[in-house]
Amino acid sequence: MPVITEIADLKRLYRRRVPKMFYDYCESGSWTEQTFRENCSDFSKLYLRQRVAMDMTGRSTKSRMIGQDVAMPVALAPVGMTGMQHADGEILAARAAARFGVPYCLSTMSICSIEDVAENTDKPFWMQVYTLKDDDYMKRLFDRAKAAKCSAAVITVDLQILGQRHKDLKNGLSAPPKLTPKSVANMMTKVPWGLEMLQTKRRFFGNIVGHAKGVNDPSSLTTWTAQSFDQALDWDRIREFRRMWDGPLIIKGIIDPRDALEACNVGADAIVVSNHGGRQLDGALSSIRALAPIMDAVGDRIEVHLDSGVRSGQDVLKAVAMGAKGCWIGRAYIYGLGAMGEAGVTRALEVIHKELDTSMALCGRTQLDTVDRDILMIPKGFSGDWED
């Protein structure tokens, strides 16, 4: 067993184990990948203030996200095709999250279906929904989430249209993978991944095939996806979704203060400041830079979470210090899952937890609710000094 001390260790193992097509799917941003890169690099522009000789005993990273107790304020973000990174990936990630005491959010575009994840785990999870035109499908999706006892719905609002990722087009990304000479040659070097995949029946989009009208086999899925994402989405439509779901609601994919205010008006319980991990609008601001203006705009009207670029407990601490109630991680746990399955997701959470706990202590704080902007040195103009 290799010694894993940081998320980058898991990424190295993940790269070796998973076919290139799925590694590239995860490890890319749209177009020039500027936003994808800056999501991470902007965190390192914020400095932490070290304090000494302050009693650091009795520490806790426990917190709450949308009223739910969490072992640390970190949720596993919805990631499409997680079940292609490792056989039964969604179930394994949900189990690791439940054991660790953090929320897991299942993607609409998952391989394991809502029902399958619910049957194979013992704690409620959150359900992410894309905003599709098909009203029947949407109502059924919310009903299915309710029947599966999901404890929150997450509406992703930043994907009415798909940002282009060059590698996915070049690799001919699909689930299950298309067998071309190139993809077969690559898969032959990933034997453990392939053997596990052969042993599972979960290889298609479980929430769509057999659920969406006219999608009974994977080949009709591409046409359905292209036709179904709703380019006409507006806040009135989001209000309709609010009426379809009476539980806790989170709106994911906000990067502008004006949109954050709109989200407050539809009766959401939380927003996620996110640019989809740099996969949508290339050239958009990193999430950590976008956070402060959004916090200033919404005040305490709504709970604010952040994702995109979080790779360490220090990143979580910085986001919390800037006012986020919690962070979501995407790639950080996918690296773990691809590297080592459920144990790898657990390891990713342990790494982040230790970093968060130790860094909080070195900043002279013992409880997360006392962490504020005082522990940070924020460069002038960090959140932008823009022309009107």
Binding site per annotation, positions: 25, 78-80, 107, 128, 130, 156, 165, 252, 274, 276, 279, 307-311, 330-331
Cβ proximity to ligand FMN: between 9 and 365 the closer is 9
User: Please, what is the minimum distance in Å from the beta carbon of residue 311 to ligand FMN?
Assistant: 7
Please report, as ranges, the residues that interact with ligand FMN according to CB under 6 A.
25-26, 39, 77-80, 107, 109, 128, 156, 252, 274, 276-277, 279, 307-310, 329-332
| Catalytic position from the list 86, 166, 211, 276 | 276
Which residue is closest to ligand FMN by CB? 330
User: Please, what is the minimum distance in Å from the beta carbon of residue 14 to ligand FMN?
Assistant: 12
Q: Would you say 275 and 39 are in contact if contact means Cβ atoms under 8 Å apart? A: yes
Backbone φ, ψ for residue 122 (5° rounding): -120, 10
What residue numbers does the annotated binding site for FMN cover? Answer: 78-80, 107, 128, 130, 156, 252, 274, 307-311, 330-331
Residue type, 284: A
Distance between CA atoms of 263 and 102, rounded to whole angstroms? 24
Distance between CA atoms of 123 and 216, rounded to whole angstroms? 30
Of all helices (H) and strands (E), which one includes residue 254? strand 249-254
Token couple for 214: 């006219």
Cβ proximity to ligand FMN: between 25 and 137 the closer is 25
Cβ proximity to ligand FMN: between 310 and 352 the closer is 310
What residue numbers does the annotated binding site for glyoxylate cover? Answer: 25, 165, 276, 279
CB-side exposure of 322: number of CA atoms within 13 Å?
30
User: Please, what is the minimum distance in Å from the beta carbon of residue 28 to ligand FMN?
Assistant: 8
Q: Would you say 89 and 82 are in contact if contact means Cβ atoms under 8 Å apart? A: yes
SS3 290: helix
211 is an active site residue: no
Cβ proximity to ligand FMN: between 25 and 224 the closer is 25
User: Please, what is the minimum distance in Å from the beta carbon of residue 328 to ligand FMN?
Assistant: 6
Q: How many Cβ atoms sit within 10 Å of the Cβ of residue 242?
A: 17
Of all helices (H) and strands (E), which one includes residue 168? helix 166-171
Please, is 132 exposed, middle or buried when counting C-beta atoms within 10 Å of its C-beta (0-12, 13-18, 19+)? buried
User: Known catalytic residues?
Assistant: 276
